[in-house]
């Protein structure tokens, strides 16, 4: 059965499905958590209580709707469009992230999330 999470930030709420990576499993085990959001272009990120290493599949270029864990900042990242590091319309992380899941539905809803908004991540039942 796929592992699904609910991400809520203000009036924005979305479901995401985690992949089978070790990063996804570590995040699943640490849930729930809450933190203030930060924006970097069309990326929302926030620090989570995990210290994970860069994984074998770590990369910078992401897909719209992908979730990544940024080891440098211990951060959960939600990519919904270009970032300041992008060369085109694809989201590009500041440095390598561990991809671990993907949003279901329209990722652009995260454009409404502002710096400082409280973000809650929990298991979706």
Mean pLDDT computed over 40-63:
97
Average predicted confidence (pLDDT) for the chain: 97
Mean pLDDT computed over 18-41:
97
Mean pLDDT computed over 30-41:
97
**Whole-number Å distance between alpha carbons of 92 and 105:** 20
Mean pLDDT computed over 52-63:
96
Instruction: Look at the chain and report how many structural domains it folds into.
Output: 1
**Whole-number Å distance between alpha carbons of 37 and 104:** 20
Domain that holds residue 109: 4-123
* Closest to 64 (Cα-Cα) out of 76, 80, 78, 77: 80
Q: In this structure, what CATH number is given to the domain that contains residue 63?
A: 2.40.100.20
**Whole-number Å distance between alpha carbons of 116 and 81:** 20
pTM metric for this prediction: 0.96
């Amino acid at each position: 059965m796929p592992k699904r999470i609910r991400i809520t930030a203000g009036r924005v709420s979305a479901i995401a499905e985690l992949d089978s990576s070790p990063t996804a499993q570590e995040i699943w085990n640490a849930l729930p958590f809450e933190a203030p959001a930060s924006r970097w272009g069309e990326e929302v990120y926030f620090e989570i209580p995990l210290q994970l290493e860069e994984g074998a599949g770590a990369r910078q270029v992401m897909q719209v709707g992908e979730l990544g864990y940024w080891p440098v900042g211990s951060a959960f990242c939600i990519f919904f469009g270009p970032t300041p590091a992008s060369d085109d319309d694809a989201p590009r992380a500041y440095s390598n992230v561990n991809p671990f899941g993907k949003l279901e539905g329209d990722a652009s809803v995260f454009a409404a999330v502002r710096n400082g908004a409280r973000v809650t991540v929990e298991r979706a039942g």
